[in-house]
Amino acid sequence: MTRLLLGVTLERICKAVLLLCLLHFVIIMILYFDVYAQHLDFFSRFNARNASRAHPFSNSSRPNGTIPSYGPAGAEAPSPSAKPSANQSATEKPLQPCQETPPGLVGRLLIEFSSPMSMERVQQENPDVRQGGKYTPLDCLPRQKVAILIPFRHREHHLKYWLHYLHPILRRQKVAYGIYIINQFGEDTFNRAKLLNVGFLEALKDDEEYDCFIFSDVDLIPMDDRNLYRCYEQPRHFAVGMDKFGFRLPYAGYFGGVSGLSKSQFLKINGFPNEYWGWGGEDDDIFNRISLNGMKVSRPDIRIGRYRMIKHERDKHNEPNPQRFTKIQNTKMTMKRDGISSLQYRLMEVSRQPMYTNITVDIGRPSPRLARG
């Protein structure tokens, strides 16, 4: 009997040892492939650096992986709006419209903020970007003309990284674009949505042919260039999964970070609200405006709509808006009278820098009643 029990015990010990060996083998294989992938990534980045030195037009945002390029899953096809060049001679072969899925896309990108960045470096990396931060593809006719608007104050460090990554991404996407920094004058409470309303009008003053508007925070960098910065049949929310949210959509009605509307869509909702002073609430109000006007928000696939955020402390004079929850509930009553139709501001300066156009504006301050909460 004792021998039988001893045999059963030894059998169980052998099975346990075998399972441990199997588990050890699996772990070793996982680590092996992880190290192998890191080596591939290192060599791909090394080759990308050498290529960028030899060819100044090459990608300066280093690829992470070799995923084949494809368009965003479930994305609607954008409507062409390109026009032939006025100075194109009759003997030249006419340019064809740019492909809806540009062939030069890289896919997943390695985004990091540890390397020092300067505006001089950004300028050297992008010699084909015109004064004011404008670019037009030379080998095809872009389907849309896109104004990218960034609400801004005291974020020069973030802006350098944003320009470093976004200019090469946008060029590969074959976008005709202009970048506008909407800089709030003074030190009063920040108002993101009102600055974006200003950007919409000022960009159209600069170029009335803009038919698509991308609204982006300066601290958000896309991690995949297949997340195409263009407008769609429905308003677009690009920043589906930020790293600070664990690369997940925080809630179904979230419309923050990076979004896009065509000119007609923006005017249909009367632009953005002007009365959200401080942090929070305006993106939910915009989502309500879209829904109340019979439109739906479209998004890229979660695998493509990932973003890396540059970590920072909350800005001074951008404290949470205590009235935001009440205001969100009243969008239906306020959106007709509060928006692009009621916008008031004072233009302080327009400065065309090599990599962007800076628009400094005085948008006032919250009324004493709003400031008290």
Q: Which residues participate in catalysis according to the annotation?
A: 217, 219, 279, 282-283, 309, 312, 314
End-to-end Cα separation, the chain, in angstroms: 82
> CB under 8 Å to 106, separation ≥6 — which residues?
59, 63, 69, 172, 225
How far, in Å, are 8, 15, 22, 24 from residue 11 at the CA level?
A: 5, 6, 17, 20
Spatial neighbors of 292 by CB under 8 A, at least 6 apart, are 331, 332, 335
Give the integer Cα–Cα distance in Å for 139 and 70: 20
Alpha helices in 207-351 (DSSP H): 263-268, 282-292, 324-329, 331-334
Report phi then psi at 238, rounded to 5.
-85, -40
The CA–CA distances, whole Å, from 159 to 155, 283, 309 equal: 6, 21, 12
Q: Half-sphere exposure (CA, 13 Å, Cβ side) for 254?
A: 15
